[in-house]
Structure 1
């Protein structure tokens, strides 16, 4: 038998006073101030955490209240709204709840939220809720479905494509990374008869010819809810695809922060050669840790034909690779071959097709002087026990000589960018726990502002003298492999047990996530296992609003050209998911560094409470410290000081604009209706508390892809 939840109803006069509105304004034409901040009410579950993570990554301000914490802030009328300079103020432009009603029966907090949403037309996101009439949907038992949807292929509906998810081509594939682990759970259902419900994302109901809603908008009682009936975490592809639309829906496309999909690939060691993995010795001859007396280096080097292939591939994909080059590779080649180097000739002839980065002249290790008499190597020491460092002059010569050679060859360089060989000079644990003190001096000598670093070692940017680091993702396509069989053989050695002939790293470190139950077939393992895995990892970075570049090596563009299936898989997979107005953003290194640095400065200012932004009618005002770059996403047609704001992306405009300390005033297009204060419905409806929902293990604890992801 259904129970009726009864709540205390405020009179209109009491409502106006409780929400902080000026007396006598119930029927006045008073346009409220809506602060550009989101209220996230969390139950500690993965779905609200995912939305909070999306807001944080984009730089969209939010306030989080954790319902599981004792002494938390109580949500009431005074917390939600007040009056500023005689104008009613809504302190949040949107509300995110764990479900359609996470509070106990008769909750005054839910009643306050309902009244607030009605009064200020503030939308609510139900991050993961049970399909039920209170959310506009039939119970799943009436022709719907409750259960796993691992590997399902959901679709954006026509309403979704013309609405908040218009940046997607249609398909929303659900992950199934491990068949042994549940990774998705959903309640698929149809709208209740007569409900004002629009489905935006649907999936087929198993065993039936009909589809059920996964994401939809429910309009009722003067409120709008985005009803999400599947669980997710911040890393899963299905959430990453829909995250932008969830934020755009809740903010009406007017919010601080921005999100784009980035992909950049650095190819290291161009002009040089990379030593090949030796399948018999299980090491790489020429490497300091390969001490077998039978170890003879076997170099892998691109050819002129590989350059032609790279140019053709780029043109086909509308993508530009970044070539990090070592000029000594071609100087030595010419000395050994009567002045002939067909690779260098072709690269120089096609130099304008690529971006170029100084990778030092001869790729030496620029940290401490390595003592390779032991394995693993250690830092050599002076007589007094102090560390012997590569000198300032040696480092500076490596940078300057490579630059001069590149300039003489006409390479389109940016002289303030540098990637050192092996990211050396910077600290590397455990042998070298600090930077070479001479590195910062040499960087200053050569005007280096952007220094490539290894994201697996140091994921955060930092300063090294005058330079800011740009963390780069290492791809699991090995530098010492030019052929697929070599890649698989090394992969097998690393990730199988000692009993299977492997390194035993998985036995020594159970947290390693790429462990293999058995070795991959060297003929098919690359195509069937490694390529889809690496593609999925890199695409995950692309979808996460993460501009950090990936890096591979020139050896991967030679011989079997093993990098292209992965890189092409990322770009082809992306193209199949997104519309043309949402392209991959392909930046060069210094621009990536600047983007990361702006984000860090913006995040610091937000955390310090130095940014205030609000909307009144068709005007958005942002107050920020002098010199801070402000970021926002706004509807197409928005202007700043009479000029068009931002750049077009995903059906909106977004970008950065500097603050001079005075308020920035942006004008929204006329077609965007301004919200107004309205009288809340009487009585303010409060639904029954939402039932518990199921969260499978693969959502609570992320199902990983690789050890370093």
Structure 2
């Protein structure tokens, strides 16, 4: 498998690169002039998943990049003129870092690779080799000299001492390679022993000790970050390393920023949720359930569940958002003897939770539904137009819930609202538009942030003067209170008809995969569903995704099915990351602001309206008026004020970052980097 002739060709290309370095302007007569280095990354893309993963990290964190597709006939030629020029009499490097598919994707004796090597040498630009093999051309011994090549599923890698003081200091130490299925190979790579000039940042055990998977190779005046395993943008091993790859590439100075966000909304608090019927394979009393008449059953938290929720929050250092329906709780109380220990307990513990308006009685706020049809449909009047819930009715649902909370001393942010079932917003296919009365009702009550379903609408959009905040649904069902009910409904959805399931997975193979066999209802939830749902949520957390997740109050009742999922997410994250990179538990408003800023920033980048560069220890960032810029810089960075300076940004993961704009009477953001 090892190709020693290929190593010799790479070495020859590197030597050629050194010979042409004199062609770069900064290396000749202008060497005394401190060059300008633009804050933009060059990505040379071969269409592979590893380059795609790094590109996704750049895109999703707001780092500008230029992508050159190797396979495109009309692509630009990478030469000295493409990489650098002179601007206002000063040499300019157009890219602060270079991402390549491997150490030389252009071929033996390539003038393009020689030009890149010369450029990197002249301007001190770093290069990431997204995926290559272990060989001396990248500073590693061949794998047959004490290394390893092959499948890496389940490999327990570790950040080295150099990695902990370098680009991966934000990690707790361990990097476990995913092993989600014994039936499917998920990772492949090479582990080689370091040679002179190579510093390992991530290694793993081999028969002869440990060998490297990620490291820095310094040679010929250049630095390469060498990655010797394949990956895609969703795999945990990449997600853990992604931040460090970008920080290493940019020397910790770049546009864009990243956090690990996690918030969980608990919908329907105070209201009961309908229960799944294992006999009927549907939910009596909620939508169509043939034969379910008279068999309705509900799930509702108890006072003991409320006490447990408060205790769990304290033990985990994590707050849940309680989305409440006060009127539904009042109705339940009236139907159950006029007392309600759950409400009394939650009101007594009100300061221990975050609260959000979920409407007073949880009605459907869109069109007037005809539930006699399957699926339901919108009713129409004699003129053939849709009957909509009125603005006054919607407004009352919002207002009455807020007023009830105020009467109980519960603090809410009235600018936040999640309607029951996200109703009022368009619901395809039955209701392809928003209720035209919704925007006015939101304005009547000062609502600026309206929760939406990320599985239907992943992008933020306006609803009148308000903006949506997409929420991730967690696959912990609203209509189940026990582990066995969860596994039973899961089996119905994800097994074939031959195995007693609905067959939906057979009918929609592109979007759903059938289980090879039904889950054991006594163990299936904890052993299969919990790890899967925790993995999905953690993937969002590790991907710089600020969208909140949502579940239902039923998941805090009876078997308290939610906690095993949350425990796994929180415990896994805190084991993987150092305290310098804590989970950020945002409010919905904060998530909405973050999403809005990103949309404006991405638009400014796409339109070419952002200018950012570094000259020595000074960074200058210019963006359109009203657009705040995400910037990451080292600890010790100062922001230039009209008079004096201030500490820049907030600390996170070993650097400082924030959304920033020019100060009063300034036209650009100016940062002073530490010497």
- Distance between the aligned counterparts of 2:553 and 2:17, measured in 1? 70
- Distance between the aligned counterparts of 1:392 and 1:416, measured in 2? 17
Pairs within 5 Å for 1:26-175? 26=31, 28=32, 30-175=33-178
Relative to structure 1, the CA distance from residue 20 to residue 491 in structure 2 (aligned partners, 3 Å threshold; closer, same or farther) is same
**Corresponding residue of 2:203:** 202
**Corresponding residue of 2:532:** 533
The alpha-carbon deviation at position 85 of structure 1 amounts to 1.3
**Corresponding residue of 2:596:** 597
Is it true that 1:664 corresponds to 2:669 in the alignment?
A: yes
Q: Is the 8 A contact 1:22 1:87 kept in 2?
A: no
Relative to structure 1, the CA distance from residue 95 to residue 10 in structure 2 (aligned partners, 3 Å threshold; closer, same or farther) is closer
Is it true that 1:334 corresponds to 2:308 in the alignment?
A: no
Aligned pair partner of 2:649 in 646, 651, 659: 646
The alpha-carbon deviation at position 295 of structure 1 amounts to 4.3
Q: Is the 8 A contact 1:325 1:357 kept in 2?
A: yes
- Structure 2 SS opposite 1:604: helix
- Structure 2 SS opposite 1:74: coil
The alpha-carbon deviation at position 667 of structure 1 amounts to 0.6
Pairs within 5 Å for 1:513-662? 513-641=512-640, 642-659=645-662, 662=667
Q: Is the 8 A contact 1:19 1:80 kept in 2?
A: no
The alpha-carbon deviation at position 623 of structure 1 amounts to 1.0
The alpha-carbon deviation at position 142 of structure 1 amounts to 2.2
- Distance between the aligned counterparts of 2:42 and 2:294, measured in 1? 62
**Corresponding residue of 1:673:** none
- Distance between the aligned counterparts of 2:403 and 2:25, measured in 1? 67
- Distance between the aligned counterparts of 1:157 and 1:120, measured in 2? 28
Relative to structure 1, the CA distance from residue 75 to residue 6 in structure 2 (aligned partners, 3 Å threshold; closer, same or farther) is closer
The alpha-carbon deviation at position 293 of structure 1 amounts to 4.9
Greater Cα offset, 445-454 or 659-668: 659-668
The alpha-carbon deviation at position 394 of structure 1 amounts to 1.3
**Corresponding residue of 2:300:** 301
- Distance between the aligned counterparts of 1:168 and 1:140, measured in 2? 27
The alpha-carbon deviation at position 354 of structure 1 amounts to 0.9
**Corresponding residue of 2:244:** 245
Q: CA offsets per residue over residues 135-168 of structure 1, 9 Å max, x none?
A: 0111112232111101111111111011100001
- Distance between the aligned counterparts of 1:200 and 1:185, measured in 2? 18
- Structure 2 SS opposite 1:413: coil
- Distance between the aligned counterparts of 1:539 and 1:10, measured in 2? 43
The alpha-carbon deviation at position 338 of structure 1 amounts to 4.6
**Corresponding residue of 1:264:** 263
The normalised TM-score by structure 1 is 0.91
- Distance between the aligned counterparts of 2:570 and 2:327, measured in 1? 33
Relative to structure 1, the CA distance from residue 522 to residue 8 in structure 2 (aligned partners, 3 Å threshold; closer, same or farther) is closer
Greater Cα offset, 387-396 or 558-567: 387-396
- Distance between the aligned counterparts of 1:447 and 1:40, measured in 2? 45
Q: Is the 8 A contact 2:17 2:118 kept in 1?
A: no
The alpha-carbon deviation at position 9 of structure 1 amounts to 6.4
Q: Is the 8 A contact 1:333 1:340 kept in 2?
A: no
- Structure 2 SS opposite 1:415: coil
The alpha-carbon deviation at position 88 of structure 1 amounts to 1.0
- Distance between the aligned counterparts of 2:465 and 2:289, measured in 1? 36
Q: CA offsets per residue over residues 535-562 of structure 1, 9 Å max, x none?
A: 1110111000001100000010011101
- Distance between the aligned counterparts of 1:293 and 1:484, measured in 2? 22
The alpha-carbon deviation at position 434 of structure 1 amounts to 1.2
Q: Is the 8 A contact 2:127 2:249 kept in 1?
A: yes
Relative to structure 1, the CA distance from residue 540 to residue 22 in structure 2 (aligned partners, 3 Å threshold; closer, same or farther) is closer
Relative to structure 1, the CA distance from residue 517 to residue 23 in structure 2 (aligned partners, 3 Å threshold; closer, same or farther) is closer
**Corresponding residue of 1:180:** 183
Q: CA offsets per residue over residues 322-371 of structure 1, 9 Å max, x none?
A: 01100012212332345421111111111111111100000011111111
The alpha-carbon deviation at position 32 of structure 1 amounts to 1.1
- Distance between the aligned counterparts of 2:660 and 2:17, measured in 1? 44
- Structure 1 SS opposite 2:437: helix
Q: CA offsets per residue over residues 107-127 of structure 1, 9 Å max, x none?
A: 110000000011011111000
- Distance between the aligned counterparts of 1:501 and 1:295, measured in 2? 25
- Distance between the aligned counterparts of 1:307 and 1:11, measured in 2? 68
Q: Is the 8 A contact 2:21 2:121 kept in 1?
A: no
- Distance between the aligned counterparts of 1:504 and 1:152, measured in 2? 36
Q: Is the 8 A contact 1:630 1:657 kept in 2?
A: yes
- Structure 2 SS opposite 1:453: strand
Q: Is the 8 A contact 1:253 1:635 kept in 2?
A: yes
The alpha-carbon deviation at position 292 of structure 1 amounts to 2.1
Structure 1: gaps spanning 5 or more residues: 671-709
The normalised TM-score by structure 2 is 0.96
- Structure 2 SS opposite 1:41: strand
Q: Is the 8 A contact 1:22 1:88 kept in 2?
A: no
Relative to structure 1, the CA distance from residue 400 to residue 211 in structure 2 (aligned partners, 3 Å threshold; closer, same or farther) is same
**Corresponding residue of 2:478:** 479
**Corresponding residue of 1:451:** 450
**Corresponding residue of 1:695:** none
Relative to structure 1, the CA distance from residue 292 to residue 136 in structure 2 (aligned partners, 3 Å threshold; closer, same or farther) is same
The alpha-carbon deviation at position 300 of structure 1 amounts to 0.9
Greater Cα offset, 278-287 or 139-148: 139-148
Q: Is the 8 A contact 1:153 1:203 kept in 2?
A: yes
Relative to structure 1, the CA distance from residue 659 to residue 605 in structure 2 (aligned partners, 3 Å threshold; closer, same or farther) is farther
**Corresponding residue of 1:24:** 29
The alpha-carbon deviation at position 508 of structure 1 amounts to 1.0
Q: CA offsets per residue over residues 431-485 of structure 1, 9 Å max, x none?
A: 1111111111211111110000000111111111111000001011000111111
Q: Is the 8 A contact 1:626 1:662 kept in 2?
A: no
- Distance between the aligned counterparts of 2:574 and 2:292, measured in 1? 49
The alpha-carbon deviation at position 6 of structure 1 amounts to 7.2
Relative to structure 1, the CA distance from residue 524 to residue 22 in structure 2 (aligned partners, 3 Å threshold; closer, same or farther) is closer
Total equivalences in the alignment? 662
RMSD over aligned CA atoms reads 1.7
- Structure 2 SS opposite 1:473: strand
